[in-house]
Structure 1
Amino acid sequence: MSKPLVLPALTRFVSATAGRNMTTVAYVAVMVGVAMMTLLTVEPAYDAAPHWVDALLWACLAYFIFEWLVRLRHMRRQDKLWFYALSSAGVVDAIGALAVPLALLCGIASKTAWLLGVLWVLKVVPGIPGLRQLRRVLVVESGPLLSVLVIFLMVVFLASVAEYFLERDVQPQTFGSVPAALWWAVVTLTTTGYGDVVPITPLGRIVAAMVMISGLGV
């Protein structure tokens, strides 16, 4: 490809990158980066192609640094540098570009530092359809949502105190304190129900049943 064709294409690429919307290249970089970060934690997969995984991770990081610097330069030319730098998009771009390098410079192990690549997922959040509408709904319905949260917390705390009172003598290791009982109440009310901690007294089981019913209602 001749030089006259390369320069306009590069100019268009930089111009698209300077915008605050996600580009196709950015989406690909996020997907590839997160996939490689995941493979980094799977020993057999990483050992099969360590150089490819490392190379792709560094390539994705290089793109995010390039994207951030291009946007900083673009916003500086428009006298909006601090507006962008302090905005949510600017902060996410900065984290995506700097988190991993700073972790490596601080001496954190490579495999641990690259786990910060999961923060690249935050870059796609503004592009999710309906996100602004969801935010408006949350603002409009903040009163009812707050009421539900208060009810949830009240049920959790009351149930934890009740189970502590009923179960502390027969299960001191699992219900020996209110915080320990609080853990049980949260997983039960959210219907997670790990099953590792269950009441054994008759009244304790009744309270547990009431909490589970409340969780289904919430």
Structure 2
Amino acid sequence: METADPFQTNHTNPDTGEIITEPLPFLFAIEGVCVAFFTLELIVRFAFCPDKCRFFITMETIIDIVACVPFYVDAIKKLSGNDSTAGNDFLSFLRIVRVFRIFKLARHLSGLQVLVHTLRASAKELLLLIIFMGLGVLISSSLVYYAERWASQPDDRNDFDNIPVGFWWAVVTMTTVGYGDRVPRTWLGMIVGAVTAIIGVLTLALPVPVIVNNFALYYTHAQARQKLPKKRKRVLVGAADALKTQSAQFMSSSISGYSTQSTNEGDNASIHSDELPLRTG
């Protein structure tokens, strides 16, 4: 929002006479509240992190720190009264890093998790696609450059002054976008353009089914996991009564064991007393 004209204000630096464009004050206040929240979250995560050294080298922490630094630098400049615009573009660029915080939602959204797993599983196919596209762009840009150079007349307009300019045209043509800012104007260049478009369609169509199959596989697996019944947590309801019951059962078993042992000892004693008269006789 701060890049839109309705949310910007202009003032002149009295020392240099330079016109400085800044966002409205309420946007700075809203950003301060958000950055304070993220800073507090960062401090709490650091306090409860078991490995302090590894905490600062994780990608999530680096993104949070880089996203919070521009606000504090702006706040220090405002408090010190420094209206210099040096480094403002770089700090504004660092604010783009805040967009990557959306990847934190991956742990809560199954769709993002499926997308990440699909890209990981399809790494070889994506690399193959990039290699094929690179070769096609290099060959097509070279061919269209020489085709336009050979077949055109001296007074004809030529959009391809060099081969690197043809890279952009080849990418746009192979991806079937077709902006039309640079086009071949000779019959030989048009033939090269038609062949480039066909090759681009075939190049994109080859690895895409593999990526789609991987996405369907992980998506089906994620949906099946969501439909599984969740495990119920065992809650100790009436734990004191359960302990009393267990102790009562233990006491009763010990008493019954003791009574059985005493009965067996009494029987053995009676047998020995019966045998004594026989031996004396």
TM-score range, shorter-chain basis? 0.5 to 0.7
TM-score between both structures, scaled by the size of structure 2: 0.54
Q: Kindly indicate whether the alpha-carbon contact (under 8 Å) linking 2:63 and 2:101 is maintained by their aligned counterparts in 1.
A: yes
Residue in structure 2 matched with residue 87 of structure 1 by the alignment: 58
Query: Which of these residues, 91, 94, 97, is aligned with residue 119 of structure 1?
Result: 97
Q: Provide closer, same or farther for how the CA distance between residues 126 and 64 of structure 1 changes in structure 2, counting only shifts above 3 A.
A: closer
Shift in Å, 1:162: 0.2
Counterpart AA for 1:69:
I
Shift in Å, 1:102: 4.8
Residue in structure 1 matched with residue 134 of structure 2 by the alignment: 153
Q: Kindly indicate whether the alpha-carbon contact (under 8 Å) linking 2:144 and 2:166 is maintained by their aligned counterparts in 1.
A: yes
Q: After TM superposition, list the pairs within 5 Å mapping 1:23-102 onto structure 2.
A: 39-47=1-9, 50-75=24-49, 78=50, 80-102=51-73
Shift in Å, 1:214: 3.0
Q: Deviations over 1:62-119 (max 9, x none)?
A: 22222222222222xx2x112221112111222222244357769423x773453332
Residue in structure 2 matched with residue 142 of structure 1 by the alignment: 123
Q: Kindly indicate whether the alpha-carbon contact (under 8 Å) linking 1:65 and 1:98 is maintained by their aligned counterparts in 2.
A: no
Residue in structure 2 matched with residue 166 of structure 1 by the alignment: 147
Q: Kindly indicate whether the alpha-carbon contact (under 8 Å) linking 1:164 and 1:177 is maintained by their aligned counterparts in 2.
A: yes
Q: Distance in 1 between matches of 2:169 and 2:145?
A: 10
Structure with larger RCO (C-alpha < 8 A, sep 6+): 1
Q: Kindly indicate whether the alpha-carbon contact (under 8 Å) linking 1:100 and 1:114 is maintained by their aligned counterparts in 2.
A: no
Is 1:197–2:178 an aligned residue pair?
no
Shift in Å, 1:212: 2.2
Q: Deviations over 1:139-166 (max 9, x none)?
A: 3332232222211111111100101111
Query: Which of these residues, 158, 166, 169, is aligned with residue 181 of structure 1?
Result: 166
Counterpart AA for 1:45:
F
Q: Deviations over 1:115-150 (max 9, x none)?
A: 533321211213133334333333333223222221
Shift in Å, 1:216: 3.3
Q: Distance in 2 between matches of 1:83 and 1:132?
A: 24
Q: Kindly indicate whether the alpha-carbon contact (under 8 Å) linking 1:167 and 1:201 is maintained by their aligned counterparts in 2.
A: yes
Q: Kindly indicate whether the alpha-carbon contact (under 8 Å) linking 1:160 and 1:185 is maintained by their aligned counterparts in 2.
A: yes
Q: Distance in 2 between matches of 1:134 and 1:188?
A: 27
Mark the runs of 5 or more structure 2 residues left unpaired by the alignment. 10-22, 78-84, 205-281
Which deviates more from structure 2 when the two are superposed, residues 194-203 or residues 139-148?
Answer: 139-148
TM-score between both structures, scaled by the size of structure 1: 0.68
Q: Distance in 2 between matches of 1:40 and 1:175?
A: 39
Is 1:108–2:64 an aligned residue pair?
no
Q: Deviations over 1:16-37 (max 9, x none)?
A: xxxxxxxxxxxxxxxxxxxxxx
- The DSSP-based 3-state class of the residue aligned with 1:119 is helix
Q: Distance in 2 between matches of 1:180 and 1:54?
A: 42
Residue in structure 2 matched with residue 22 of structure 1 by the alignment: none
Q: Distance in 2 between matches of 1:189 and 1:155?
A: 8
Q: Distance in 1 between matches of 2:148 and 2:71?
A: 47
Number of residue-to-residue matches in the alignment:
175
Q: Distance in 2 between matches of 1:134 and 1:196?
A: 34
Q: Provide closer, same or farther for how the CA distance between residues 193 and 102 of structure 1 changes in structure 2, counting only shifts above 3 A.
A: farther
Judging by fraction of residues, say which structure has more helix.
1
Task: Give the greater-gyration-radius structure (CA).
Answer: 2
Runs of at least 4 residues of structure 1 off by over 6 A?
Answer: 103-106
